[in-house]
Amino acid sequence: MEEQIQQFLTYLTVERGLAQNTIISYALDLKQFKAFCNRRQLVQAGWMDRNLVLNYLLELKKTGRSPATISRHMATLKTFCRFLVDEQVLGSDPMANLESPALKKKLPGVLAQEEVEKLLEQPRVGNTAGLRDKAMLELMYATGMRVSELLALDLGQVNGEYGYVRCLGKGAKERIIPVGVVARKFLTEYLSRGRIKISPGKGEKALFLNMHGKRLTRQGFWKIIKKYALAAGITKTITPHTLRHSFATHLLENGADLRALQEMLGHADIATTQIYTHLTQTKLREVYNKHHPRA
């Protein structure tokens, strides 16, 4: 089974062009499934059948895994099984017509526009780290990029003169996102008097660097945004994607087209983008209840 798993991960990387974080997620799920099979002395992928899969999912449920986690494991196994059928390792698909557990849609947490303003005011642009943080947070709120996309940016992917960024999203799909004047201003300042102090040489291509001159990590970004949220007095739960969710919600609140938002966010399916319409509808209801005399 290990050989088939490695072939599958190679297929996802080379033929499907999936992001590295996605590949890692698939690998971890299949490592757990393989351990389950090993406990039952089933070591060949060709031995997989529907009963084995159902027993595995039942074990996940018994060990207290959430419906979302079980659903993710099912999605991993479905893709793996289709691969094994295509490779003629399996004669039939044991996951065919097997439905994922119903998931309650969880609305993403967003900041009010006033809270975003407070957050973005916190970095002190008089020092190098503060200038980098200001440019980074402004760019994220201006474009709605995923954290992984933001931190993967190289110098050549940003055009400050014409105001756009070339972003590589999931599945290595490229999209062009406009950048507003405020983000462009601080990005230009960071490049001219901030980044050059962190990395005076030309060896590192990354746009955003840690103070050791290396590409900033997700963990580094996570610490930065939590620090500024605390300084701004924001009590809401902050995640690395909070500015992305806020970007999308604020655009819709101000009349943006859903299809245009889908393109900017890099969603393959507009149904994913539509979750933000639920947020704006909730906001409208709050405004109505607060201000209508007969609400």
Q: Which residue of the set 50, 170, 197, 215 is catalytic?
A: 170
124 is catalytic: no
Banded model confidence at residue 188, pLDDT cuts 50, 70, 90 = very high
Q: Which residue of the set 56, 141, 190, 276 is catalytic?
A: 276
82 is catalytic: no
Most confident among 9-23, 101-115, 225-239, 265-279 (mean pLDDT):
225-239
Of 48-57, 134-143, 194-203, the one with minimum mean pLDDT is 194-203
**What share of the chain has pLDDT > 90, as a percent?**
44
Q: Which residue of the set 132, 241, 245, 250 is catalytic?
A: 241
63-92 burial, b at 16+ Cβ within 10 Å, e below that, comes to eeeeeeebbbbbebbbbbbebbbeeebbee
Considering the segment(s) 2-86 as one domain, its CATH architecture is Orthogonal Bundle (1.10)
Task: Locate 99 and state its tokens.
Answer: 């439905």
Banded model confidence at residue 106, pLDDT cuts 50, 70, 90 = low
Residue with tokens 């507009």: 270
Asked if residue 212 has pLDDT above 70, the reply is: yes
Q: Each residue of 264-289: pLDDT tens digit?
A: 888 877 777 877 777 666 666 665 57
Domain 114-290 fold = hpI Integrase; Chain A (1.10.443)
Task: Locate 118 and state its tokens.
Answer: 């407070």
Mean pLDDT taken over the chain: 86
pLDDT for the residue 195 = 92
Task: Locate 103 and state its tokens.
Answer: 């998931």
259-276 burial, b at 16+ Cβ within 10 Å, e below that, comes to eebbebbbbeeeeebebb
From residue 6, alpha-carbon distances to 18, 56, 107, 295 in Å are 15, 21, 35, 59
241 is catalytic: yes
Q: Does the reported pTM lie above 0.85? A: no
Q: Each residue of 141-177: pLDDT tens digit?
A: 999 999 999 999 999 999 877 889 998 877 677 889 9
Strands 174-178 and 158-159, how do they pair?
unpaired
How far is it, in rounded angstroms, from Cα 265 to Cα 169? 9
Q: Domain coordinates of the chain in residue numbers?
A: 2-86, 114-290
Asked if residue 17 has pLDDT above 90, the reply is: no
Q: Which residue of the set 146, 184, 195, 245 is catalytic?
A: 146
pLDDT for the residue 43 = 66
Q: What are phi and psi of 161, to 5 degrees?
A: -65, -45
- 195 neighbors 211 (Cβ within 8 angstroms): no
SS3 of 102, please? coil
SS3 of 56, please? helix
pLDDT for the residue 295 = 57
The number of helix segments (H) and strand segments (E) in the chain equals 14, 3
pLDDT for the residue 105 = 60
212 is catalytic: no
